[in-house]
């Protein structure tokens, strides 16, 4: 507790943002295009595991406790992706790119989701964190118009038309130098294009669970497990590594992150899921409460118990 307070005070005393110089950043990005080892992104280190490690790469749908943790984790991830669907597409969302911060001492956090008309909660021993933004589309226009979006980074930095007969830089863009400039998303690049958003591509994480799981193996007849199995089965993802954006609403199909969030949201509100989730933590201690306003009326809030 005292460490946490010290840390917060330390953060408050910093004035990184006041000293932040947009021209330095622009120059670093321009240099980084041809000298990629000169540019890096520093992230806080998370003492964590990944979804991949949690399941040792093998997902067993008959292991009911781990399925219920997985449902809470996936709901948390897709609730965020849904809200940011026009501002962020990860483009490489797989089980090793979602880290899980484990609440210390086998405690749990209560995550309260505030939505326009209602409020619901889940107890969880993990807080998921998405990492590895190398191929991501980001649009910060609403946050800061001077930074703008990942499309502008490409058009400003890449003054080398890679489609021309005489490109200035050597090698393959995104591997030898450059930031993986793709002019348009298409089948050949698995629809990965950091210059435009794609509301369907981040279904890749769900697709991997669907493909690795024998859904018929569920012995338990709990309604929420049946529903989760149906949900995974309904995920549409065209190719091995990518899919074009699909905004159509089709009965029995999950075509984009919005529909994924909707599906997972209704599973975590099913009476038997709520009961199971409560029972899992009955003898455990609450570490804190995380409030998330999915209607984006407020920033998230975390309070320690
Ligand atoms: N902020 C972090 N805290 C702790 N571990 C991290 C962090 N970022 C990355 N890692 C670890 O390093 C691995 C590789 O990092 P990642 O950014 O995914 O790069 P790559 O492009 O090689 O996949 C991750 O799967 C994770 O295990
Ligand atoms: Mg990675």
d(CA 108, CA 285): 6
The mean pLDDT of 107-116, rounded to a whole number, is 95
Amino acid 145: pLDDT? 52
Question: Do 170 and 207 sit in the same domain of this protein?
Answer: no
Domain assignment of residue 170, yes or no: yes
Can you give the C-alpha Rg of the chain in angstroms? Answer: 21
Q: Is the pLDDT of residue 75 over 90?
A: yes
Q: What is the pTM of this model?
A: 0.88
Question: Do 164 and 304 sit in the same domain of this protein?
Answer: no
Amino acid 70: pLDDT? 92
Q: What is the position in ligand 1's atom list of the atom closest to the CA of 96?
A: 25
Reported as a pLDDT band with limits 50, 70 and 90, residue 1 is very low
Question: Do 192 and 203 sit in the same domain of this protein?
Answer: no
| Closest CA relative to residue 174, chosen from 196, 148, 197, 192 | 192
d(CA 254, CA 22): 40
Domain assignment of residue 180, yes or no: yes
Q: How far is CA 160 from CA 24, 35, 116, 170, 279, in A?
A: 21, 15, 47, 11, 59
Least-confidence region, from 36-50, 102-116, 194-208? 36-50
114 CA to centre of ligand 2 in angstroms: 31
Retrieve residue 163's tokens. 């489609």
| 196, 217, 234 - which closes a domain | 196
Contact 246, 255 (CB under 8 A): yes
Domain assignment of residue 55, yes or no: no
Reported as a pLDDT band with limits 50, 70 and 90, residue 32 is confident
Question: Do 248 and 104 sit in the same domain of this protein?
Answer: yes
Contact 75, 265 (CB under 8 A): yes
Question: Do 29 and 164 sit in the same domain of this protein?
Answer: yes
Q: Is the pLDDT of residue 301 over 90?
A: yes
Question: Do 182 and 261 sit in the same domain of this protein?
Answer: no
- For 114, the domain range is 60-132+199-305
99 CA to centre of ligand 1 in angstroms: 8
Least-confidence region, from 21-35, 116-130, 176-190? 21-35
Least-confidence region, from 36-50, 159-173, 203-217? 159-173
Reported as a pLDDT band with limits 50, 70 and 90, residue 35 is confident
Domain assignment of residue 265, yes or no: yes
Cβ < 6 Å from ligand 1: which residues?
A: 43-46, 48, 50, 96-97, 131-132, 134
Question: Do 256 and 289 sit in the same domain of this protein?
Answer: yes
Reported as a pLDDT band with limits 50, 70 and 90, residue 19 is low
Domain total in the chain: 2
The mean pLDDT of 27-35, rounded to a whole number, is 78
Contact 134, 92 (CB under 8 A): yes
Q: Is the pLDDT of residue 2 over 50?
A: no
Question: Do 205 and 225 sit in the same domain of this protein?
Answer: yes
d(CA 90, CA 76): 15
Domain assignment of residue 52, yes or no: no
Question: Do 192 and 219 sit in the same domain of this protein?
Answer: no
Domain assignment of residue 119, yes or no: yes
d(CA 114, CA 239): 35
CB-count burial class (<10 Å; 0-12, 13-18, 19+) for 241? middle
Question: Do 204 and 192 sit in the same domain of this protein?
Answer: no
Q: What is the position in ligand 1's atom list of the atom closest to the CA of 48?
A: 4
**108 DSSP β-pair partners:** 286
43 CA to centre of ligand 1 in angstroms: 10
| Closest CA relative to residue 112, chosen from 293, 295, 262 | 293
Domain assignment of residue 47, yes or no: no
Backbone angle region of 171, left / alpha / beta, with phi > 0 → left and psi within -120 to 50 → alpha = left
Question: pLDDT for 249-275, tens place per residue?
Answer: 999 899 999 999 999 999 999 999 999
Amino acid 93: pLDDT? 97
Query: Using CA positions, which residue lies closest to atom 25 of ligand 1?
Result: 96
Q: How far is CA 270 from CA 266, 274, 277, in A?
A: 7, 6, 11
Q: What percent of the chain is modeled with pLDDT above 90?
A: 52
Q: How far is CA 128 from CA 2, 14, 92, 183, 186, in A?
A: 24, 26, 16, 32, 30
What mean pLDDT value characterizes the chain?
A: 84
Least-confidence region, from 62-66, 146-150, 194-198? 146-150
Reported as a pLDDT band with limits 50, 70 and 90, residue 65 is confident
Reported as a pLDDT band with limits 50, 70 and 90, residue 221 is confident
Question: Do 178 and 88 sit in the same domain of this protein?
Answer: no
**Please, which residues have CB less than 5 A from ligand 2, an ion?**
97, 132
Amino acid 126: pLDDT? 95
Reported as a pLDDT band with limits 50, 70 and 90, residue 174 is confident
Domain assignment of residue 267, yes or no: yes
Question: pLDDT for 287-300, tens place per residue?
Answer: 999 999 988 888 89
> When comparing pLDDT for 16 and 47, which is higher?
47
Question: Do 206 and 188 sit in the same domain of this protein?
Answer: no
Q: What percent of the chain is modeled with pLDDT above 70?
A: 81
């Amino acid at each position: 507790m005292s460490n946490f307070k010290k840390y917060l005070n330390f953060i408050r005393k910093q004035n990184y943002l006041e000293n932040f110089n947009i021209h330095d950043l622009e120059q670093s990005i321009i240099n980084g295009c041809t000298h990629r080892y000169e540019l890096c992104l520093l992230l806080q280190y998370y003492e964590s595991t990944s979804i991949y490690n949690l399941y040792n790469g093998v997902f067993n749908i008959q292991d009911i406790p781990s399925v219920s943790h997985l449902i809470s984790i996936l709901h948390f991830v897709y609730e965020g992706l849904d809200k940011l669907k026009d501002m962020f597409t990860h483009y490489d969302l797989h089980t090793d790119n979602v880290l899980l911060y484990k609440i210390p001492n086998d405690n749990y956090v209560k995550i309260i989701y505030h939505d326009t008309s209602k409020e619901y909660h889940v107890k969880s021993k993990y807080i998921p964190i998405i990492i590895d933004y190398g191929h991501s589309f980001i649009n910060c226009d609403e946050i800061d118009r001077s930074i703008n979006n990942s499309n502008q980074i490409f058009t400003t930095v890449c003054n080398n038309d890679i489609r021309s007969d005489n490109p200035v830089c050597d090698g393959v863009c995104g591997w030898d130098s450059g930031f993986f400039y793709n002019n348009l998303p298409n089948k050949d690049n698995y629809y990965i294009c950091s210059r435009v958003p794609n509301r369907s591509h981040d279904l890749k994480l769900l697709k991997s669970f669907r493909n690795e799981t024998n859904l018929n193996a569920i012995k338990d007849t709990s309604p929420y497990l049946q529903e989760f199995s149906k949900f995974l089965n309904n995920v549409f993802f065209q190719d091995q590594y990518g899919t074009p954006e699909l905004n159509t609403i089709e009965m029995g199909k999950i075509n984009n992150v919005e529909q994924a969030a909707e599906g997972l949201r209704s599973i975590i509100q099913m009476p038997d899921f709520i009961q199971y989730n409560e029972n899992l933590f009955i003898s455990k201690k609450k570490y804190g409460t995380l409030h998330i306003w999915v209607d984006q009326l407020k920033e998230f809030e975390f309070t320690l118990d």
